[in-house]
């Protein structure tokens, strides 16, 4: 069959169809809820990506925005025969008009019955955040340290910020009163395990217990050492949740499931980024992405016959989750919880509040 255009430079090919049939079709639940996916109409971009920033970090090269219509089309292609729903939010960056992106996504979610998080800035008043929470299909907010202020030369100007620098207490008080959902991308080069992150997450849970707090990307624990040093410190808080988006390492998935339990982990893709074709390799506390496109970050290429076998990275992540579930001999009900049950339960609890 001919390749089907997917997103950006990526197609859906016979390699992907074969991978789906072999590794995923008979295992993946019939319902899939993606709790971490980005939808942003390209027209709301207000600052073009520079080559300087592309060379700094691989996400800057592959993070091309995807609009709602294309996101819906792509989900049908990559998850054939599945009932799909999602929790979407725009790109948490000042390279986009945040207010306009939120408004457009509100309309898109109403049309598709998707759920949404509003991207918010720390400078916003409580009243402005409240107006976002009042919109249809909004469960809460997506916060990120890059929203503190813009730096045209770097995405990580504020990476060492305190969580409270981009999720201030006044907003937390409102979110607690409204029993809102917060998806938190933790700061710090040291990732989740940095002592400040652990302390501040525990403080949020203690002082704002009505918030549904979801730590994105398993706390950016993409390697096993990062997971081992951080997740056990938060394992005893059964009201704290994690999404597993962007994690491709089966050992990390296994450790997270074993440490936190399947009732606290939500499936997420971090798409459109992980429509990228390729694979990830780990070396201690670092990782390398391999792909078949000549990006700046992809100078150390693998042989053509290896690249020819690359599938979508979201498929590699799904296989890694399967490997972890099978290694732990999880019951089928637990697999269903990861892929849709946990998110549906949290949404239902908010709607009853």
Q: Are 125 and 119 in contact (CB under 8 A)?
A: no
> Does residue 37 carry a pLDDT above 90?
yes
pLDDT at residue 36 in the model: 98
pLDDT at residue 264 in the model: 98
Alpha carbon distance 318, 244 (integer Å): 10
Angle of helix 195-207 relative to helix 169-177, nearest 10 degrees? 40
- Domain 4-275+312-352 fold is TIM Barrel (3.20.20)
Distances (CA, A) of 317 to 13, 55, 94, 118, 247: 18, 25, 28, 26, 6
Lookup: tokens for 126: 């409580």
pLDDT digits (tens, 9 = 90+) for 191-248: 999 999 999 999 999 999 999 999 999 999 999 999 999 999 999 999 999 999 999 9
Distances (CA, A) of 251 to 227, 246, 248, 323: 9, 14, 9, 9
pLDDT at residue 1 in the model: 64
pLDDT at residue 353 in the model: 60
> Does residue 352 carry a pLDDT above 80?
no
Q: Are 339 and 29 in contact (CB under 8 A)?
A: yes
Alpha carbon distance 316, 302 (integer Å): 17
Distances (CA, A) of 291 to 261, 287, 315: 32, 13, 14
CA proximity to 346, closest of 181, 231, 195: 181
What value, to the nearest 5°, has the Cα angle with vertex 123 and ends 121 and 125?
100
Lookup: tokens for 290: 């391999």
Distances (CA, A) of 332 to 108, 249, 329: 33, 21, 9
From the number of C-beta atoms within 10 Å of its C-beta (0-12, 13-18, 19+), residue 278 rates as buried
Q: Is the peptide bond before 272 cis (omega within 30 degrees of 0)?
A: yes
pLDDT at residue 153 in the model: 83
Alpha carbon distance 172, 162 (integer Å): 14
> Does residue 104 carry a pLDDT above 70?
yes
Q: Are 321 and 267 in contact (CB under 8 A)?
A: yes
Question: What is the pTM assigned to this prediction?
Answer: 0.97
- The CA radius of gyration of the chain, in Å to the nearest whole number, is 19
Alpha carbon distance 150, 50 (integer Å): 14
pLDDT digits (tens, 9 = 90+) for 285-294: 999 999 999 9
pLDDT at residue 2 in the model: 87
Checking DSSP bridges between strand 181-184 and strand 138-143, what pairing results, if any? parallel
Q: Other CB atoms closer than 10 Å to residue 286's CB: what's the count?
A: 11
């Amino acid at each position: 069959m001919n390749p089907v255009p997917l997103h950006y430079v990526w197609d859906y090919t016979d390699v992907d169809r074969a991978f789906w049939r072999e590794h995923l079709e008979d295992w993946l639940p019939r319902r899939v809820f993606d709790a971490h996916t980005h939808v942003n109409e390209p027209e709301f971009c207000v600052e073009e990506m520079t080559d300087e920033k592309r060379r700094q970090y691989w996400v800057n090269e592959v993070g091309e925005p995807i609009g709602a219509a294309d996101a819906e089309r792509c989900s049908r292609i990559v998850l054939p025969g599945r009932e799909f729903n999602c929790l979407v939010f725009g790109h948490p960056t000042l390279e986009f008009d945040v207010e306009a992106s939120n408004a457009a996504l509100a309309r898109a979610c109403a049309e598709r019955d998707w759920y949404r998080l509003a991207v918010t800035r720390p400078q916003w008043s409580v009243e402005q955040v409240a107006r976002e929470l009042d919109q249809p299909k909004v469960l809460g907010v997506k916060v990120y340290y890059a929203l503190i202020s813009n730096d045209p030369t770097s995405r990580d100007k504020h990476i060492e910020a305190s969580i409270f620098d981009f999720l201030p207490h006044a907003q937390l008080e409102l979110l607690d009163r409204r029993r809102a959902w917060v998806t938190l991308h933790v700061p710090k080069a040291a990732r989740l395990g940095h002592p400040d992150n652990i302390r501040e997450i525990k403080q949020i849970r203690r002082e704002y217990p009505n918030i549904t707090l979801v730590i994105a990307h398993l706390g950016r624990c993409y390697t096993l050492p990062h997971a081992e040093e951080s997740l056990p410190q938060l394992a005893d808080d059964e009201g704290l949740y994690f999404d597993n988006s962007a994690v491709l390492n089966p050992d990390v998935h296994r450790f997270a499931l074993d440490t936190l339990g399947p009732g606290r982990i939500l499936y997420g893709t971090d798409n459109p980024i992980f429509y990228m074709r390729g694979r990830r390799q780990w070396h201690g506390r670092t990782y390398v992405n391999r792909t078949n496109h000549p990006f700046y970050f992809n100078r150390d290429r693998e042989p053509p016959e290896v690249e020819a076998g690359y599938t979508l990275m979201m498929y590699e992540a799904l296989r890694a989750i399967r490997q972890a579930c099978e290694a732990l001999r999880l019951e089928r009900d637990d697999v269903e919880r990861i892929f849709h049950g946990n998110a549906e339960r949290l949404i239902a609890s908010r709607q009853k509040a």
